[in-house]
Amino acid sequence: MAIAAVLLLTAAVCASAAWAGSLRVLVRHTPNKTETNRTAKTIDRIVIHDTEGRFIGSVRALQNARREASAHFVVSRRGQIVQLVPIRDVAWHSGNSRWNLHSIGIEHEGWADRRGSYTKAEYQASAKLVAYLAHRWGVPLDRRHIVGHAEVPDPRHRGLYGGVSHHTDPGPYWNWRYYMKLVRFYSKNRVLPTFVHSMTLRDSPAPRATPRPTRPVVDRGARLRGKVLWWSGIDAWRRASRHIWKVEFMVDGKVLYTDHTWPFSFHRTVGWDSRTVPNGRHMLTVRAYGTHRYRVRKRIPVRVANPPLRLRVVGAVAGGAVQGMLRLGARLNEPVDRVMLYADGKPVSRDSTAPYSLVWDTTAQDEGGHRLVVYARDRHGHRASLDLPVVVANAPTFPDALSRNWVTHHVVVPGTDYVGPGLIE
């Protein structure tokens, strides 16, 4: 009996050593949950979220019944942890009811689009918690079972992710490699959480926002030119509270682009090309769709003022003499779909690839004056043209027909045997 008691005491000491260190978790409550009696057979995943807001404010928001959202835990940038929903109950966190039923949701104080949003203390506290939860509830420690909110399938649209609202958290600045390394470390050096009912919560300074591009942006009354950034104006709170899942971008009543991923913008950082419409006033519209038939529309009147298409020609000058195979280069301030060369009203050459080059065989033309026109057009209908009068002079002697407009005299070209007519304009 004495030996058995010693063995039991030794096992207890070893178990305590295995759960070294401390991790305090403040227990609070929220009405936003579904009371169940889940077991380890029910739970198979842990979903990582970010709050898109400060720690204390996010905890209070998830306790608000009107938000209809919650998570099992919230982790701060200082490493503090609050539990809002018991593990055996279902939290409303993923935007997918099936995933809610089978997963544990953990929110992290941070912003998906801000570099440096997540701290070392936050990673460590979260990793200790996840290592404990995975051990307690039998969740495998791999990226198939510990996932980001952005990896949760949309239950209504096959092939889309981020839940029904297409969330992108925890975002590109969440260091998965570092985090999973910490989780595996704490799975071998476990830390047993201490659940308390009293703890002072502290907000930490928010990280600096990623500087916004200096490119022009779509705004009410803005004067636009070139490619401009166009954001929906839907912030994280409105996206979450209204469960917005789709935003359409319209120009003069026509839908040009649809985005299903927050922060809902026109072609992300590419933006809208204002050169696709004529200069002048235009009405831009953002139309958002949420759950429960939620619809909202915002109109944005703007003025487009792009510089005109400018055309310059090299290889010949107006009124100049040309001969042989004439090669012209067209230089434009914007890319175009095609450049055409017309000689006396007839098309003779075309090019659709920059640098634009045009060719005209003057040897098949009558001696004397001809009218060339270089014409350019882009895919949006903007046009430019340039008149280029030239004189074809392929004959070895100066044509009598031109003598009325040109003064001729004989010149001697040094170093050659050439003696012939010279031209003075």
Distance set, CA 256 to CA 248, 284, 287 (Å): 8, 10, 12
**What is the rounded CA–CA span in Å between residue 15 and residue 119?**
30
What positions carry a catalytic annotation? 107
